[in-house]
Amino acid sequence: MNAIEPRTDLQDEASLQLDANGKLRHLLTLKGLDKGLLIDMLDDAEGYLTAPGSQPARSRVLAGRTVANLFFEASTRTRASFDLAGKRLGADVLNLDVNTSSRKKGESILDTIYTLEAMQVDVMVVRDASAGVPAYIARHVLDHVSILNAGESDVSHPTQGLLDVLTIRQHKDSFENLAVAIVGDIRHSRVAMSTSQALTTLGVGELRLISPAVLAPDPESVPGAIISDNLKEGIRDADVVMALRIQRERIGNLDGIPGIDEYFANFGISHESMMHAKPDAIVMHPGPMNRGIEIEGSLADGPRSVITRQVTNGVAVRMAVLDRVGKTMAAR
C-alpha cells in the first residue's frame, strides 16, 4: 500500500460527504453531519421496514447500478447486510474478499479502487482496519462514485450509528429526555464513536460512556459525554443501555480485570446490573455478542432486548443510504 496521506480534520471529512448541492454523495462519518439530513435518512429507513414475518421491502431504484463490497477486514453481518440491501434495490452486487487476492499481490488500495471505478462500479462499500482509508479513497475517486464506510479502524462505523439511533427512536419518545449508556471497550469501538456522534447531533439528554479506565475514550473525541468507570452509577436511570463487544484477548491485560468473570461482574450488562436502569430501559448490542462476557445471554434474548431489531434496521438503513447516494448520482 502506498503511504496514506495524513488525515485532515474531521470537519473536512464531513463536508467531503456532500456534493456541491449539499446532497449526500459519500457516507464516511456521522460527525458533523447535518441534523436534518440525519433525520431524513432515518425517515427513509423507516420506509424500508416491513411487518415482522412479511417479505422485505424491495424496489428497482438501483437497477443498472453496481455495488462493490470491498472488505479489507473479515465481516459476516455487515457484509451480508449491505449485500442484501443492494440486491433488494436491484443493484448488481460484487463481493470482493480483498485479503486473499489483490493485497497478497501487493497492489495499492488506490489501484484496486481505480480498477473498480474503471469497471463502472457506482458504490464502493469499504471496511478497513486503518483510520482514514474511506476518506482517503473518497478524495481520489471520480465524481460519479460513492464511498460508504462500513467500518474504519476504531474511528467510525456510520451505518451502525444510524441503525442504533433509529432503533432508539422506535422505542423512545424524544432524544432530549433520554439518558443513553454505552458500556464496554469504548476506546477501541468505532460503534461507540459513530453512535455517540449521532446521539449528540440528535440532542440526546445524557450520553454516558462506561468502561474500565484503561478502555476509556479520549474525552476530546466525545465532547459532552460523561465518562465513567463505574457501571452502577453509569447505568442509573438510563433509558437505553448498549453493551459493546470486547475482544477476549484484551481482558487478561486490563488493570484490575484479571479474567472474564471479573469483567462480567464489573462491566457485564445483566439482569442484575439492569436493575439500576429505568424499568423500561432497552438493551442493545451491535453484535457479534460474547454471551456471558459483556452481556448476559438470557437478557439478550429477553423482552428488553432490541438486538435483533437493530439487525433488521441495519438492512433498512443501508437501503436508505444506497438509495440516497444513488439519487445523488442520478441528479448529477
Q: Tell which one of 309, 319, 322, 324 touches its own copies (CB under 8 A).
A: 309
C-alpha cell at 67: 455495488
- Restricting to residues 217-236, which ones interact with its own copies according to CB under 8 A? none
Residue in 241, 245, 133 with CA at minimum distance from that of residue 191:
245
Q: Tell which one of 36, 104, 223, 303 touches its own copies (CB under 8 A).
A: 104
Draw the binding track, 73-92, toward its own copies (x: CB under 8 A; -: no contact): -xxxx--xx-xx--xx---x
C-alpha distances (whole Å) from 45 to each of 38, 169, 191, 313 are: 11, 12, 19, 7
DSSP string, 204-249: -SEEEEE--GGGPPPGGGSTT-EEES-HHHHHTT-SEEEE----HH
Instruction: Between 14 and 91, name the residue whose CB sits nearer to its own copies.
Output: 91
Q: Report CA 50 to chain centroid distance, whole Å.
A: 22
- Restricting to residues 162-191, which ones interact with its own copies according to CB under 8 A? none
CA distance 159 to 166: 10
Kindly state whether residue 119 participates in binding its own copies, applying the rule CB under 8 A.
yes
Draw the binding track, 45-74, toward its own copies (x: CB under 8 A; -: no contact): -----x-xx-xx-x-----xxx-x-----x
What number of chain residues touch its own copies (CB under 8 A)? 61
C-alpha distances (whole Å) from 138 to each of 71, 149, 176 are: 16, 10, 34
Placement of cell 464506510 in the chain: 149
C-alpha cell at 139: 478524495
Q: How far is the CB of 190 from its own copies (least distance, A)?
A: 15
Other CB atoms within a 10 A radius of the CB of residue 150 amount to 27
Q: What is the torsion angle, in degrees rounded to the nearest 10, for the CA atoms of residue 304, residue 42, residue 152 and residue 22?
A: -160
C-alpha distances (whole Å) from 40 to each of 46, 61, 136, 154 are: 10, 18, 26, 26
Kindly state whether residue 160 participates in binding its own copies, applying the rule CB under 8 A.
no
Kindly state whether residue 260 participates in binding its own copies, applying the rule CB under 8 A.
no
Do the Cβ atoms of 182 and 246 come closer than 8 Å?
no
Q: How far is the CB of 286 from its own copies (least distance, A)?
A: 11
Instruction: Between 127 and 208, name the residue whose CB sits nearer to its own copies.
Output: 127
Q: Tell which one of 19, 40, 46, 107 touches its own copies (CB under 8 A).
A: 107
Kindly state whether residue 129 participates in binding its own copies, applying the rule CB under 8 A.
no
Q: Tell which one of 43, 111, 237, 272 touches its own copies (CB under 8 A).
A: 111
E-strand ranges in 177-281 read 179-183, 206-210, 226-228, 240-243
Draw the binding track, 265-304, toward its own copies (x: CB under 8 A; -: no contact): ----------------------xxxxx-----x-------
Instruction: Between 10 and 70, name the residue whose CB sits nearer to its own copies.
Output: 70
Q: Tell which one of 17, 29, 69, 112 touches its own copies (CB under 8 A).
A: 112
Kindly state whether residue 120 participates in binding its own copies, applying the rule CB under 8 A.
yes
Placement of cell 442484501 in the chain: 84
Q: Which residues bind its own copies (CB under 8 A)?
A: 2, 50, 52-53, 55-56, 58, 64-66, 68, 74-77, 80-81, 83-84, 87-88, 92, 94, 96, 98, 100-102, 104-108, 111-112, 114-120, 122, 142-144, 248, 287-291, 297, 308-312, 314-315, 332
